[in-house]
Structure 1
């Protein structure tokens, strides 16, 4: 069949899309930015579209031409500049359902979430449940799958955070370490979708996809630490208030375009635990969903996994240090403008030009220091930092080469700072 997968390059969507290609279906993937997806999955057709803007059946109709089944694996954790939960989870899904009924797409698989509840005070779970209701009240051959904590070879968001915390030196920090968690392999999710799309699963079901046994979050982290091949370390319970504070900070970063998994919605969800009923899927599948130990064993960790886990925690520190360094440097230049200009004047530059250069340099430092913490501007800011630093070094070499031998290393220290910018560029990508 021709199958449309919404969110086809996400953690779940990519695995689903790959499995359906193996099953022999013709795949169409949909997402906001599909350039990288086209490289990773060239066997699928890709459509660049934002679900939060597809809010009427007429918006969906052209995208459903020739499609026989739809898998909705799209979603967002919390409202932000790019993400609007009500639009993505409820309004767009309702419009999709109507469009499917109108154009004759009969089969729809909705990948929801454990904990979806119409009465939830958590916007993520409430809007997910509202989307599920739109699907379940339709005339389509529908299936709703609710996976627990999904574990996959790729990692971003919550699964990246698990790896990072597990790689923490000396001990493993955990907020709400005692909360029960049931994981599920992304392969099991893809298997369930495959069965639903292929008609090998009775439609009209809501199925939890979770391993049999729930375990505390702290135990999940220790499994990840062992998987990474790191020495044993104790789990240290972090007070819940620290998690809430981190969530508030992450919410603020969300307004700047960063999609941290530590946002307050995730902390609130974790407080309730991530658990479901494993028995229905075990009966359908003939065996329970794969346990965490087997999931991890199926994707052995190598050195790149340890690099990723350690660098993931360092990433916010790297960007914070760069931002503070450049902003502070610019402020010092403004406060001590006369002293900075005197250095240039002593090297033969006209006073007016010297003051203009100091002022321009100080403003440039402050601008790039502020821009680097705004996600859409971060790459441009880092490139500007490289250009400005090279310009500083070239000017210092031309005007005052003796500064390279300054006992306090004022010029020499720009070189490791430049290296830190290169590191920031290397780890900037999130997906």
Structure 2
């Protein structure tokens, strides 16, 4: 079969794509940002497709030629400048499914989420429910799969946060530590999709995908810490008020394009728990899901997992330090323009040119600090920080080589800042 996988480079989508390929299917991946995906999954054909922008069936028609089945793994957690829940979960998805019906593509697998039923009042839950209801009204052989909390050797979003908490030095900080969650491995989700696209598989059915045995969040974090190979540490139960503060801050940062897993929707889902029917899908699809112990035993951790866990909270700290450093550099330069220009005048630079140079340099510093605040421009800003640091060092060496021996180290201290910018650039990817 030729299968179109929407969101084929995400956490679940990547495993689904790989499973279908190994199953012998021809796979076509679709998503908003496909350049890296094409390098990661060279066996797939890739098409640029944005659910949020493709809200009419005719938008999808060109991508459905020759397709036998469609799997939709795309989704978003919360509205932000980068994500529109209604457009992604409902409008775009419904347009796709209507296009499938018009093209005669019967088999559609819709990957939703567990525990999005009534009584869970978030936009995430509401739009997930609306999408399932809209799909149920179409004349298609649809299957809705609702994974629980998905764990995988790779980490992204909420599971990445769990690893960061598990790897925290000395303690395991946890909000809603007693919340109950039911887990499922990404590999079991992919296997379920592989079986659900079979034309002979049951259709017009919704299945929860999760191990039937629930675990508490604190238990999960302790298990992950042991899996990382780190010494045991006590679970520090944080007050819910701190969670609300974190959610407000994360929601604010999301307006700059950063999709933190600590946003209000994620914390609300965690507070309410993630549970469902972990038995029916085993009977219908003939699968026995892996338990938490079996998952971790099958994914031996290495140094890269420990690096990731330990760097998780250092990443935002590195960005904050760089932004504040360059902001302070620019503001101090402008506030003490004459004193800063005197350094250049002492090297023989004309007074007017010295003042202009300091003013322009301060403006560049402030610009880089502002650009680094936004996810879209953070990469170029970090490269700019490295380039400007190199220019400072070169200019200082040519004009004031004596500053290398200055006890306060004005030139020497530029080097660690440039290295930190390179480290932040290396950690910039989200998935």
The bucket for the TM-score relative to the shorter chain is over 0.9
What is aligned with 2:277? Answer: 277
Alignment of 1:134-173 (within 5 A): 134-173=134-173
Does the Cα contact within 8 Å between 1:97 and 1:134 map onto a contact in 2?
A: no
Residue 71 of structure 2 corresponds to 71
Asked whether the 8 Å contact 1:281–1:289 carries over to 2, the reply is no
Asked if the contact 1:279–1:288 (Cα under 8 Å) also holds between the matched residues in 2, the reply is no
CA contact (8 A) 2:195 2:285 kept: no
Any idea what the Cα deviations from partners look like across 1:292-318, whole Å, max 9, x if unmatched?
Answer: 111111111001110011112110000
The aligned counterpart of 1:5 is: 5
TM-score of the pair, normalised by structure 2: 0.98
CA contact (8 A) 1:118 1:127 kept: no
Partner of 1:203: 203
Q: Deviations over 1:198-253 (max 9, x none)?
A: 13531111110111211111111111101100000111101111111111111111
Q: Is the 8 Å Cα contact of residues 278 and 288 (structure 1) preserved in structure 2?
A: no
Structure 1 unaligned residues grouped into runs of 5+: none
2:220 corresponds in structure 1 to 220
- Using the alignment, how far apart are the partners of 1:195 and 1:104 within structure 2? 20
Match of 1:38 in 2: 38
Cα distance, 1:14 vs. partner? 0.9
Residue 30 of structure 1: SS of its match in structure 2?
A: strand
SS state at 2:3 partner = strand
- Take 1:144 and 1:226, find their aligned partners in 2: how far apart are those partners? 34
Match of 1:193 in 2: 193
Whether 1:233 aligns to 2:227 is no
On the 8 A contact 1:179/1:216 being kept in 2, the answer is yes
Once the two structures are TM-superposed, the CA of residue 286 in structure 1 deviates from its matched residue by 4.6
CA distance in 2, matches of 1:324, 1:373: 10
* 1:147-203 deviation line (CA, Å, top 9, x unaligned): 000011211111111111100000000011010011101111111111110135311
Distance, in Å, in 1 between the alignment partners of 2:91 and 2:117 is 16
Contact 1:81 1:254 (8 Å CA) reproduced: yes
8 Å Cα contact 2:192-2:287 kept in structure 1: no
TM-score by length of 1: 0.98
**1:260 aligned partner:** 260
User: Given that residues 183 and 292 in structure 1 are in contact (C-alpha distance below 8 angstroms), is that contact kept between their aligned partners in structure 2?
Assistant: yes
> What's the offset of the Cα at 1:119?
6.0
Is the 2:202–2:284 contact (alpha carbons within 8 Å) kept by the matching residues of 1?
A: no
Structure 2 SS opposite 1:429: coil
Contact 2:227 2:301 in 1 (8 A): yes
> What is the aligned partner in structure 2 of residue 421 from structure 1?
421
Cα shift readout 1:390-416 (whole Å, capped 9, x = no counterpart): 111111111111111111112211111
Task: Write the distance in 1 (CA, Å) between the matches of 2:249 and 2:301.
Answer: 31
Q: SS where residue 274 of structure 2 aligns?
A: coil
Distance (Å, rounded) in 2 between the aligned partners of 1:55 and 1:327: 42
How many aligned positions are there? 431
